[in-house]
Structure 1
Amino acid sequence: MLRTLIALLGAALMLLPGSFVAAEPVRLDTARIDEALAQMVASGRAAGVSALVWQDGAERYFGAAGFADREADRSMARDTLVQIYSMTKPVTGVALMQLWEQGRFGLDDPLAQHLPEFAALQVLQPNGSLTPPARPVLVRDILRHTAGFGYGDDPRFRTADPLNLQNDLAEAGRRIAGLPLLFEPGAEWRYSAAVDVQALLVERLSGVPFETYVRTHVLDPLGMRETAWTHPPERLGRLAATYVRRNETLERQDDARTRALNFAPKRLTMGGAGLAGPIDDYMRFARMLLNDGELEGVRILRSSTVRLMATDHLDPRIARRHFLPSKGQVGFGFDFAVRTARPKSPQENRGAVGEFFWDGAQSTLFWVDPANRLAAVFFVQTAPFDGTLHRDIRAAVYGPDYQGPPGDERR
């Protein structure tokens, strides 16, 4: 009788909205992960890689292969500093949602209510004309990339150059606000500078510089002591070099360009990129999310806020989704992609329904998988972005045929 009740309870839990329980949790094959990392280097796709996996309250795997600095013969190591680019975005989102918890803004507030420079936005029409938007850009839009802002792939954005490192956040915001929206707010998902606008909103609402706010309220409380936009000179010897793949070979990026983000004078602290740190630091951030907003007795966000951020917020009517479908069967929450269904083909990345994740321009990746009580961080410095590395690290962690729990697939 007791066994029957337990089975019925388990089945009921699997039917709860937002609850995804793996029928049998993933068991890591550490040799398979070692082999995958070594193959990434041997194939010439990366100079060096590292991976860290946490499951069931303990570290289950760390491994590294290749070089952080090939020319200096410096191996990839746990203390290597890696530039995480867009993996900065979820950190910014957490900072902004702290202020939401304090009642500083509403998700459906017009953005211009808090940032007046965005009051006169215009929408670019197919014929080149500009028209007022049908509705204002909402704060919710900048959290889920549905505002209509551009990014580096938009020529107008490149000309305006809002993310020039010698602009401050206020100037970056003014330049973004002066550009036309590429579509009606809420009509599409398009990766954008919206997270840099989030950073400006944090700065404006908190009354302190964005970098200071994040250091005080996110990084230091989590013990991410060596993750920063601005690093002291003594850490330079631990920074990974960036390698650019050209004609099937990896060429070292100019060191001055690599160091500009973290080891040179600048005015801009971007919300969408710019953090660099060691792999263990970022795992502390991922563990906080896996543990519903708390780490080692320090609460960063309410558990309900983490669940809100990790919920798909894209209306099914949003058909145009830029490159998001390349990530697999996913929607988008607040600064995270969210897996909503099992992989549909052998070529898709492995993972579990309910996981949330993001990555960076130089091919870094992290994900949080509540169904398997697992978090993973993958570090590399390869440009341009190479999704095959993500396919391979996920296949190594889960197994190449993993399907995971069912999602909300259409019957």
Structure 2
Amino acid sequence: MNLAVSVAPAAALSLRDRVDDALDRALAERRLVGAVVLVARDGEAVYRRAAGQADRESDRLMREDAIFLLASVTKPIVAAAAVELAERGRLDLDAPVTRWLPQFRPRLADGSAPQIRLRHLLAHTSGLSYRFGEAAGSDYDTFDVSDGFDQPGLSIEDNLRRLGQTRLRFAPGTGFRYSLGLDVLGEAMARATDTLLPQLIDELILTPLAMADTGFQVADYKRLAAHYGNGVAADGSRRPLRMHDGSELPFYDGVLRYAPGRIEKAGSYPSGGAGMAGSAGDVLRLLEALRRGGDGALAPATVATLLQLHTPLQEVEGLDPGWGYGYGAAVLVDPVAAATPQSRGTLAWGGVYGHSWFLDPQRGLSVVALTNTALEGMDGQFVRDLRDAVYAGLDGG
């Protein structure tokens, strides 16, 4: 994909000024340490900027080719691979997970162990949860379940054993709960194809889309950004604090547990929901491939499936009003209820290291903002300011 930079029309100049303002304010107010923001309209780069610091302590400036720990930006990549496997007849999304993981049989409160199908894992309708989505003292704490971006060195076998001892929150297919489903799915994909998940993702997604910076290992550690969490420093000032293995951030009723060093630790399982690292440019390549119908790398039917709503609005709990869920991302159903300028059918998601992205096919828009600051870069004011700046700039408002 070639995103040419040309002389921008007046609307794009307005967009550039507005996005600059949103980014500059977040940096000046120390809500962000650094960020890479890319905006494409109909395949043309109308905004691209690296700003702030990649590593504050060494005063290393952010670069456009910086590599970030992606957290849940991993999900659309793995979801695309799963659907592509299904289109090629190599995976049955209606099959029970026990076909490949026979010991994985979590139970409901009544002691029964219902079938979890692969598409339940994709759509977060399996009844599983995340540890960070549960209040302190839950069974996820009792069994020390990993959320896929903590506990360096933990194997997938150990985490599946722990997760399998937790209680299903509802019968599969009867509700929605954001979960470790894609971690389970990733291992099922690996066993179904007799291929390790990192190799499988490389074969199906990364190599065909030339996403050379992305993977379950860091492509170039010299370009890896340090990661920070919004908090209060020891001197009482509000500034993002550098993350280390064991850093924690409160998240609604739960706690996000981080281990930035996990990706370097041999034996850390390849988390299908949160385990990859990559660059903003690579994420943009994926979004543009979806917008273009696959770019020859993904089957058109795969793209159509990924753009669809799979969990109806009325069944989704925990998302903002107006949004349902697809495979790997939320899907905008009602822009009025969501109070957003985005078009119906927009896909959007983020990552707990501080990322957000959205794809608005109706407007031909792909927007990626990878930051090194949680949680501002995922669901803070910057995310809303960036969205509004993009649309106001396009519309000349």
Give the structure-1-normalised TM-score. Answer: 0.81
Would you say 1:183 and 2:199 are equivalent positions?
Answer: no
Would you say 1:354 and 2:345 are equivalent positions?
Answer: yes
Q: What SS does the aligned partner of 1:34 have?
A: helix
Alignment match, 2:293: 292
Give the AA of the match of 1:87: V
| CA offsets 1:276-301 (integer angstroms, 9 cap, x no match) | 1221121111111111122xxxx332
Q: What SS does the aligned partner of 1:78 have?
A: coil
Work out whether residues 50 and 64 of structure 1, in 8 Å CA contact, stay in contact via their aligned partners in 2: yes
Q: What SS does the aligned partner of 2:115 have?
A: coil
Q: What SS does the aligned partner of 2:275 have?
A: coil
Range with bigger deviation, 81-90 or 274-283: 274-283
Flag the 1:215–1:341 CA change in 2: closer, same or farther, 3 A.
Answer: same
Q: 1:150 aligns with which of 116, 129, 136?
A: 129
Question: In the TM superposition, what is the alpha-carbon distance from 1:315 to its structure 2 partner?
Answer: 3.8
Q: Unpaired runs of 5+ in structure 2?
A: 1-10, 233-237, 247-257
Work out whether residues 154 and 268 of structure 2, in 8 Å CA contact, stay in contact via their aligned partners in 1: yes
Alpha-carbon separation, structure 2, partners of 1:310 and 1:276: 23
Alignment match, 1:67: 53
Alpha-carbon separation, structure 2, partners of 1:265 and 1:187: 38
| CA offsets 1:254-278 (integer angstroms, 9 cap, x no match) | 3797541333333311001121122
Question: In the TM superposition, what is the alpha-carbon distance from 1:337 to its structure 2 partner?
Answer: 0.5
Alpha-carbon separation, structure 2, partners of 1:145 and 1:37: 32
Alignment match, 2:224: 239
Alpha-carbon separation, structure 2, partners of 1:173 and 1:350: 40
Q: 1:121 aligns with which of 106, 110, 121?
A: 106
| CA offsets 1:146-171 (integer angstroms, 9 cap, x no match) | 10112122332233234343232233
Alignment match, 2:239: 249
Work out whether residues 51 and 377 of structure 1, in 8 Å CA contact, stay in contact via their aligned partners in 2: yes
Would you say 1:90 and 2:69 are equivalent positions?
Answer: no
Alignment match, 1:169: 156
Question: In the TM superposition, what is the alpha-carbon distance from 1:379 to its structure 2 partner?
Answer: 1.0
Work out whether residues 18 and 389 of structure 2, in 8 Å CA contact, stay in contact via their aligned partners in 1: yes
Alignment match, 1:280: 281
Question: In the TM superposition, what is the alpha-carbon distance from 1:101 to its structure 2 partner?
Answer: 0.9
Alignment match, 2:361: 370
Question: In the TM superposition, what is the alpha-carbon distance from 1:352 to its structure 2 partner?
Answer: 1.5
Give the AA of the match of 1:291: R
| CA offsets 1:172-223 (integer angstroms, 9 cap, x no match) | 3233223220112122211110010111111111101111111222112211
- How do residues 12-411 of structure 1 correspond to structure 2 at under 5 angstroms? 29-118=15-104, 120-124=105-109, 130-132=110-112, 136-153=115-132, 154=134, 155-163=138-146, 164-231=151-218, 235-247=220-232, 248-254=238-244, 259-294=260-295, 299-315=296-312, 317-318=314-315, 321=317, 323-325=318-320, 328-344=321-337, 348-384=339-375, 385-399=378-392
Alpha-carbon separation, structure 1, partners of 2:268 and 2:243: 23
Alignment match, 2:4: none
Q: What SS does the aligned partner of 1:100 have?
A: helix
Give the AA of the match of 1:267: S
Alpha-carbon separation, structure 2, partners of 1:252 and 1:354: 36
Alpha-carbon separation, structure 1, partners of 2:131 and 2:394: 36
Alpha-carbon separation, structure 2, partners of 1:53 and 1:34: 12
Alpha-carbon separation, structure 2, partners of 1:253 and 1:268: 21
Q: What SS does the aligned partner of 2:103 have?
A: helix
Q: What SS does the aligned partner of 1:222 have?
A: coil
Range with bigger deviation, 247-256 or 40-49: 247-256
Alpha-carbon separation, structure 1, partners of 2:225 and 2:313: 41
Range with bigger deviation, 159-168 or 59-68: 159-168
Q: What SS does the aligned partner of 1:261 have?
A: helix
Work out whether residues 106 and 163 of structure 2, in 8 Å CA contact, stay in contact via their aligned partners in 1: no
Work out whether residues 15 and 394 of structure 2, in 8 Å CA contact, stay in contact via their aligned partners in 1: no
Question: In the TM superposition, what is the alpha-carbon distance from 1:401 to its structure 2 partner?
Answer: 11
Work out whether residues 313 and 323 of structure 2, in 8 Å CA contact, stay in contact via their aligned partners in 1: no
Q: How many residues align?
A: 358
Work out whether residues 22 and 382 of structure 2, in 8 Å CA contact, stay in contact via their aligned partners in 1: no
Alpha-carbon separation, structure 1, partners of 2:326 and 2:344: 14
> Identity, % of aligned pairs?
30
Flag the 1:59–1:280 CA change in 2: closer, same or farther, 3 A.
Answer: same
Give the structure-2-normalised TM-score. Answer: 0.84
Flag the 1:74–1:206 CA change in 2: closer, same or farther, 3 A.
Answer: same
Work out whether residues 218 and 224 of structure 2, in 8 Å CA contact, stay in contact via their aligned partners in 1: no
Give the AA of the match of 2:205: V
CA RMSD for the aligned pairs? Answer: 2.3
Question: In the TM superposition, what is the alpha-carbon distance from 1:96 to its structure 2 partner?
Answer: 1.0
| CA offsets 1:49-68 (integer angstroms, 9 cap, x no match) | 22101111221110232111
Question: In the TM superposition, what is the alpha-carbon distance from 1:305 to its structure 2 partner?
Answer: 1.9
Flag the 1:360–1:316 CA change in 2: closer, same or farther, 3 A.
Answer: closer
| CA offsets 1:124-158 (integer angstroms, 9 cap, x no match) | 3xxxxx3325x522222111101011212233223
Q: Unpaired runs of 5+ in structure 1?
A: 1-25, 125-129, 403-411
Question: In the TM superposition, what is the alpha-carbon distance from 1:83 to its structure 2 partner?
Answer: 1.3
Q: What SS does the aligned partner of 2:45 have?
A: strand
